[in-house]
Amino acid sequence: MVKQLIGRGALSGAVAGLVAFLFARIFAEPIISKAIAYESARDAMQDKLDKAQGLPVPAPGPDIFSRTIQMDVGIGAALILFGAAMGALVAVGYVIAIGRVGRVRPFTLALLIPAFYFAGAYFVPFLKYPANPPAIGHENTIKERGALFLVTVAVSCIALFLAVYFGQKLHKRLSLYSSVVTAAVGYMAVMAVLFLILPPLGHLHANVVEYGRQATETPLPLTDANGKIVFPGFPADLLAKFRVYSIVNQVILWGGIALLFAPQAQRLLDPAGAKAAKESRLVEGHTPVAV
């Protein structure tokens, strides 16, 4: 049973990853291409400014993979494999949670687990460290940015798990509404403190050296020796679109896992309920309409 659930979770994730890839290929990839074009043009202008000041200009590195490979094979394989891994993780969480969350039905629980992962592992950390296209982010801050995001994800998931755990404990003494509100407030308080403690990406050392202390790491306009702007900063509308598409892409992925995995989990764990639901839909579909 456990292996069946994990296998179906992985399959659901792979299918959801494929759909997420199609969305990303149509909507997000053009934004990424524009961001890469901006980055290349900005680097070229920076090289001209450095040459004018007599500074050494580094030689461009080779492209390991072409943009065609990245856009199609790269992102496609990444999202499908990531979706399969997350689907399997959802199934594992489902197996652990089943029977330990009160009277939540198998179908409902299979919808709630992906929502739990989406909120804890993606959306809440996104509020502190949102996704950025390739042109944003200093190359010397990659490790710091990755570490900060992973810390945020880890704390968010642990805090959300504890909120659910203590919410169930509180429900024995309080109403469902009061226990949910208390647990939610506790989770938000933990994340608010974390958000205040962790630095904005614009405050990382390499960004401070190049741009000064900023709220974000978005590249500012380039100026020449006289302070004249010779190249614009990164377009705000491009950044906004990329972040919106990133959120939608994750909604498609986790929502797809939920919608595909839930009925399969119900058929395995509650076959009677699944059969009754199917028969109810068939009866409704054949109910004659009064004239």
Structural Rg of the chain based on CA atoms: 24
Encoding tokens for residue 92? 């594992």
Distance, in Å, from the CA atom of 291 to the CA atom of 288, rounded to the nearest integer, reads 9
Buried b / exposed e along 100-138 (16+ C-beta atoms within 10 A): eeeeeebbebbbbbbebbbbbbbbbbbebbebbbebbbb
pLDDT at 281 over 70: no
CB-count exposure of residue 43 (10 Å: 0-12, 13-18, 19+): middle
In the chain, the DSSP E strands lie at 222-223, 229-231
Note the Cα 263 to chain centre separation in Å.
24
Length reported for the chain: 291
178-231 tens-digit pLDDT: 999 999 999 999 999 999 999 999 999 888 888 888 888 888 899 988 889 999
Q: What percent of the chain stands above pLDDT 70?
A: 91
Nearest to 7 by CA among 268, 255, 277, 252: 268
Domain ranges of the chain: 1-136+236-291, 138-217
Specify the pTM.
0.88
Distance between CA 43 and CA 229 in Å, rounded?
15
Q: Which residue has the tokens 């058929």?
A: 267
- 222 — phi, psi (to 5°)? -85, 140
pLDDT at 285 over 70: no
**Contact yes or no for 264/12 (Cβ under 8 A):** yes
How high is the pLDDT of residue 224? 87
Rounded mean pLDDT of 84-91? 98
What residues have CB less than 8 Å from 79, skipping those under 6 apart? 17, 18, 20, 21, 24, 253
**Distance of alpha carbon 117 from alpha carbon 145, whole angstroms:** 21
Task: State pLDDT tens for residues 142-172.
Answer: 999 999 999 999 999 999 999 999 998 998 8
The 3-class SS string of 223-282 reads: ECCCCCEEECCCCHHHHHHHHHHHHHHHHHHHHHHHHHHHHHHHHHHCHHHHHHHHHHHH
pLDDT, greater one: 56 or 194: 194
Q: Of 53-57, 92-96, 139-143, which range is least confident?
A: 53-57
Neighbouring-strand partners of residue 223? 229
How far CA 88 is from CA of 3, 13, 81, 218, 261, in Å, comes to 10, 7, 11, 35, 10
Q: How confident is the model at residue 291 (pLDDT cuts 50, 70, 90)?
A: very low
Name the band, by pLDDT with cuts 50, 70 and 90, for residue 89.
very high
| Alpha-carbon span 149 to 232, nearest angstrom | 28
pLDDT tens, residue by residue, 94-122: 999 988 887 788 899 999 999 999 999 99
